[in-house]
Structure 1
Amino acid sequence: MCVYAAFCAVSCLSARAETPAHVPGWVADAVFYQIFPERFANGDRSNDPTRESLEDTVPATWEVSPWTGDWYARAPWEKEIGTNFFEHGVFHRRYGGDLQGIIDRLDYLQKLGITAIYLNPVFHARSLHKYDGSSFHHVEPHFGPDPAGDLAAMERETSDPATWQWTKADRLFLELLEQAHARGMRVVLDGVFNHTGRDFFAFRNLREKQEASPYKEWYTVEKYDDPATPANEFKYKCWWGVDTLPEFADDASKNNLHAGPKAYVLDITRRWMDPDGDGDPKDGIDGWRLDVAREVPVGFWRDWHALVQSINPEAYTVAEEWDEASRFLDEGAFDATMNYYGFSFPTKGYLIDSTLAAGKATKEFADRLEDHPPAMRYAMLNLVDSHDTDRLASMIVNAARRPYEQPAKFDYDISVSPRSHDDYSLRKPDARDRRIQRMVALLQMTYLGAPMVYYGTEAGMWGADDPCDRMPMVWPEMTFEPQAADPRGRARPPQTVAFDQAMFDFYRAAIALRQQFPSLRKGAIEFLPADDAAKFLAFRRTDGAEELLVGFNRGDEAFTWRVPTPKGSTLSQAFTASGEFDKIAIKPEGDVTLVTLPPLEGVVLRVTRPE
């Protein structure tokens, strides 16, 4: 038996570490839920997207896609475009998700135990994902009750905030904030300040007026169009060469945004953080998730954060960053990052793929916590899946795919779609897969940092990377067609699609566990000896007199955990990943307690010590 002793320096972390001024204390208590608005819930069919609202020209037969249809079945209008599922139609689909749908489902989120919502972009844009903004000071009109009226009102505006109106979609978003806040939920918006869409008001003006545009310095123009030629020579700097995403220009120092777009972003920040402008931010959003944050000059982030803090010192800012980012977070004054590097990668290696030895996983978790100041560790956003990855259940289904292309990341978000890899399985998770999913969720809810659930993961949804991670939400009252079609035209057995009540109940219970014990939210963490042969990993969470032990048996055989137990102390089960309390044996034996875990099991033990 190989035992890896991993008592690490983080074990000395204070349970109540002093919080720097820029890290809001509420985040440690939060459980986040990520919503992709276009695919979450359609609460108002009268505002559904139209063919004219799309970013590209599509056949006249285009129509809104049926919410409960077979995801892989292609509509006639898609077949008119071409034969390829991924290249000819799926990105032009719209399902009609909107703000009213989110409002209608707030009670569902409250029942689940969610206390914070992260919304993918809600601002006006032509795409389904809204990362190609046409405006940052208005909510997408088709998310609100009067798209035509909102669009007409917006045409009369400029970059001057004095001209900005509150559209009906804007006001419905403010109602969403009010209703979420009334339920004790905070709302974090996606901020995309590196680039815009081609229909962004400033870039549209630049396209039309070229050198005569007052916005010509907002972007980096490489060549203007020559009106004397039939060709369009207009070229500009864009994000990763994608010409639909022109980038904002930097200033001369290259350490800040150009004054024009910078002033605009600061203005919209004020607008959404304190909508009525009275100095009280209670009617505004509670934070920002910043897209491709490292691609925006760090000087801008410092100035922007100064404004954010002046409006609401309790606002949360989290950077999208996939690798080690401690220095960047410090320089840019962010509160945290989406914790792919510190949580998602080792979780995939250890629990999902079972290729990272328990001892090495323990060390990776511990070392990556230590990359950040103590208070920041509690604010890290611990996610497993998102709109940028395959779904957790499908990660588990495809866990055996080898060899790795990027071993250090365990191929997290690498080649995880049949769009590029025919061997990626689309099958529904089986009972063993679901058992592992429960272990992953338990780790999320017991680890140090704020857990985030991607919409539908708690409902049992599965799917490959974009676009298949963005299927319509599976709701319990809806009857869905089975997934029988195949994107490559291959025969496969139909896969039933339905809301997974058992998985929902499990997530609800795991979230309740986190809310029940302060040690899981704000307590210290101490990593305990791992067992590589048994694939066993464990840690202790403490807060004052409260003490919990958390252990995971990723192996295929039962494992007996020898827990040192001082005289008079006892262990009792607080939670299990499987829900099978009777399958875990606890047997005191002298100064240790033997805890026998069945295969693929996670457990939370409560330690009771003598007074």
Structure 2
Amino acid sequence: MEYSSIFHDMNKRYCYALEKGKFLFRIRTKRNDIKRVILHYQDKYIPVQYLDTRKQLEMKRVTSDSYSDYFEAVISIDIICLRYFFELTDYSDCTIYYGNYEFYEHEITSIDHMFDCPQNLREEEMFCIPEWAKNKIVYQIFPSRFASSKQIPEEIWYKKPIGHKENLQGDLKGIVQRLPYLKDLGIDIIYLTPIFASDSTHKYDTIDYYQIDPSFGTKEDLQNLVQTAHAMGMKVILDGVFNHTSPKFFAFEDIRRNQEASAYRDWYFIEEFPLRKGSRMEKPNYKSFSYYGGMPKLNLRNPETADYFIQVACYWLQQYQIDGWRLDVADEISHVFWKKFRKAIKAINPNALIIGEVWHYAGDFLEGDEWDSVMNYPFYSAVQAFAAEESITATKFLEDLGFLRGNLHQSVYPVLWNLIDSHDTARFLYTCGEKKEKLKLAAALQLLMPGMPMIYYGDEYGMTGGPDPDCRRGMVWDATYQDTAIHHWYQSLIQVRKKFPCITEGSIITVQTVDEAGLIILTRQLSDQKITLIFHGKEAEVKLPEYTGQPDLITGNPFNGILKAYETIAINSSSL
């Protein structure tokens, strides 16, 4: 038994309240080292000799990553404070006990040697995520390239490759006109990249946070978009760029005019005066996003600056009833700011959704007092490696996802924004060498897993495009440019996802991988509903005679027993 790999902590990731009176406990062990873990617990304040409150519950191995297994147990209690310890047995039947960060050879009887869980404290720290968001489908829109209410010449709209500066004149009215299409596709949430006043097409360098960019329309157009989407049962998320601004933002403009005498000099990180914007070969003499002088970084440690941008976020929430914020470069802003931000947002609307942009594991921000979730770029990386590049095995793919499941708060997993590409990456179809069967596999992995799949506009029609900015081409509304087979595949996946809740909410009851064949076989169950999902990540055909004749829920056709290249099938195994 590897003692050094056994880990538990009395923190928000390993011991927390799921709801009032219901608590989750988690422990991490070395991969394939421990076969059984039992959670022992009792009331801290009632001596055993007066009333024996001791109970025990076998924990369940819920997931694994490349190095660790994760065991969890959920208990219902109503006491002031809980004391608990773990009983661990390895595959050689050696048993040890772990309590209060120490190992013991015999069962722990003294509460001083146990871990401690105050019920009221844990319930006060409960992670409350909007129920409406769980496992819903997000659609990302890049407004200038998605839809226009104007007549745009085809040679302009469908230009490729496309650069940073082309404004295709997409606008908010154009998005409203396409809402019925999104509703029909099965979209639940629309996420718009920045729409506020800016000189650029991407709008990530904001000049005025209180004005809609004139090329997109007006505040009334936004109001109409939100109201129309809400009437159709869809939510609207806006993009908040609070890490940096345009140099033309009023505060930075004042610094440029008045230099050291500016009242706003502490709104940014100015290293020296006079200001120097820098160039390709020289950094600016102020902090900025990615050393780019055109995006000076805000000093949100300054209370005045922090208050201004929190008020910006609250304004659009209150006045235009948006449903939440996606936060740009969010991991480069302090925890202190995000805690204040969450309190302000949730005070206005407890059901507003807060999503951070992070390209790595983001557990520190996901403990219930900052964001609700993140753009799941670790999922993106795993899908790229498994489906596009074929550089990792099926086992490694599940291990990468297992790391997230084992380390994040359980409440977060259903609201992770699972993406296969975005406005910041090359299109998946481009990275997989234009192999449409690989795109279909990636879409299946995205849409048939728990979480919130985030579809980048046009993926459902087989849009391609290289790295930024070529990934931001005009949306293919003309049938000439659409791949209807890909679109039908997306529609079918979304329908299956929505028809069978066990796909997103069910417990995994069997997991099988066959690495040489690139096979992932998952069976999920929820009540009497049971679905088997089979993902094939290789080109060579694979025989699966045990499923021959079973209807494939995605296509509606009986499975012929042979998985074709990069094929995915879903079998209703409730009666098997």
Q: Under TM normalisation by the shorter chain, which class is it?
A: 0.7 to 0.9
**Cα deviation, residue 234, structure 1:** 9.2
Q: 2:209 aligns with which of 123, 136, 139?
A: 136
Residue 269 of structure 1: aligned partner: 313
**Residue 583 of structure 1 contacts residue 598 of structure 1 at CA under 8 Å; is this kept in 2?**
no
Distance 1:550 1:14, change over 3 A: farther
1:392-431 paired onto structure 2 within 5 Å? 392-397=428-433, 429=434
Q: 1:329 aligns with which of 354, 357, 366?
A: 366
Residue 151 of structure 1: aligned partner: none
Residue 482 of structure 1: aligned partner: none
Which segments of structure 1 move beyond 4 Å, counting only runs of 4 or more? 4-8, 11-21, 561-564
Which one-letter code corresponds to 1:103 in the other structure? V
> Are 2:62 and 1:9 equivalent residues in the alignment?
yes
> Any idea what SS the aligned residue of 2:517 has?
coil
**Cα deviation, residue 310, structure 1:** 0.9
> Are 2:136 and 1:30 equivalent residues in the alignment?
yes
**Residue 121 of structure 1 contacts residue 189 of structure 1 at CA under 8 Å; is this kept in 2?**
yes
**Cα deviation, residue 471, structure 1:** 0.8
Which one-letter code corresponds to 1:346 in the other structure? A
TM-score by length of structure 1 reads 0.70
Residue 508 of structure 2: aligned partner: 525
1:200-599 paired onto structure 2 within 5 Å? 200-225=249-274, 235-250=285-300, 257-275=301-319, 283-330=320-367, 333-341=370-378, 343-397=379-433, 429=434, 433-476=435-478, 498-526=481-509, 528-561=511-544, 572-576=550-554, 579=555, 581-582=557-558, 584-585=560-561, 596-599=562-565
Distance 1:606 1:225, change over 3 A: same
**Residue 530 of structure 1 contacts residue 538 of structure 1 at CA under 8 Å; is this kept in 2?**
yes
Residue 494 of structure 1: aligned partner: none
TM-score by length of structure 2 reads 0.74
Which one-letter code corresponds to 1:259 in the other structure? P
Moved more, 375-384 or 241-250: 241-250
Fraction of identical pairs, as percent: 31
Q: Tell me the distance in 1 between the aligned counterparts of 2:532 and 2:541.
A: 18
Which has the larger share of strand?
Answer: 2
Q: Tell me the distance in 2 between the aligned counterparts of 1:522 and 1:438.
A: 23
**Cα deviation, residue 580, structure 1:** 8.0
**Cα deviation, residue 574, structure 1:** 4.1
Which one-letter code corresponds to 2:203 in the other structure? K
> Any idea what SS the aligned residue of 1:136 has?
strand
Unmatched runs of 5 consecutive residues or more in structure 1: 49-63, 74-89, 145-168, 227-232, 251-256, 276-282, 398-428, 480-497, 565-569, 586-595
Which one-letter code corresponds to 2:429 in the other structure? A
Moved more, 201-210 or 371-380: 201-210
Moved more, 319-328 or 379-388: 319-328
**Cα deviation, residue 562, structure 1:** 7.5
> Any idea what SS the aligned residue of 1:299 has?
helix
Unmatched runs of 5 consecutive residues or more in structure 2: 1-30, 36-59, 65-70, 77-122, 276-282
Which one-letter code corresponds to 1:195 in the other structure? H
> Are 2:561 and 1:604 equivalent residues in the alignment?
no
> Are 2:190 and 1:113 equivalent residues in the alignment?
no
**Residue 16 of structure 1 contacts residue 523 of structure 1 at CA under 8 Å; is this kept in 2?**
no
**Residue 128 of structure 2 contacts residue 368 of structure 2 at CA under 8 Å; is this kept in 1?**
no
**Residue 186 of structure 2 contacts residue 494 of structure 2 at CA under 8 Å; is this kept in 1?**
yes
Task: Note the aligned Cα RMSD (angstroms).
Answer: 3.1
| Aligned length, in residue pairs | 461
Residue 180 of structure 1: aligned partner: 229
**Cα deviation, residue 608, structure 1:** 2.3
Distance 1:28 1:572, change over 3 A: farther
Distance 1:603 1:327, change over 3 A: same
**Residue 448 of structure 1 contacts residue 525 of structure 1 at CA under 8 Å; is this kept in 2?**
no
Which one-letter code corresponds to 2:205 in the other structure? D
Q: Tell me the distance in 1 between the aligned counterparts of 2:437 and 2:61.
A: 29
**Residue 136 of structure 2 contacts residue 451 of structure 2 at CA under 8 Å; is this kept in 1?**
no
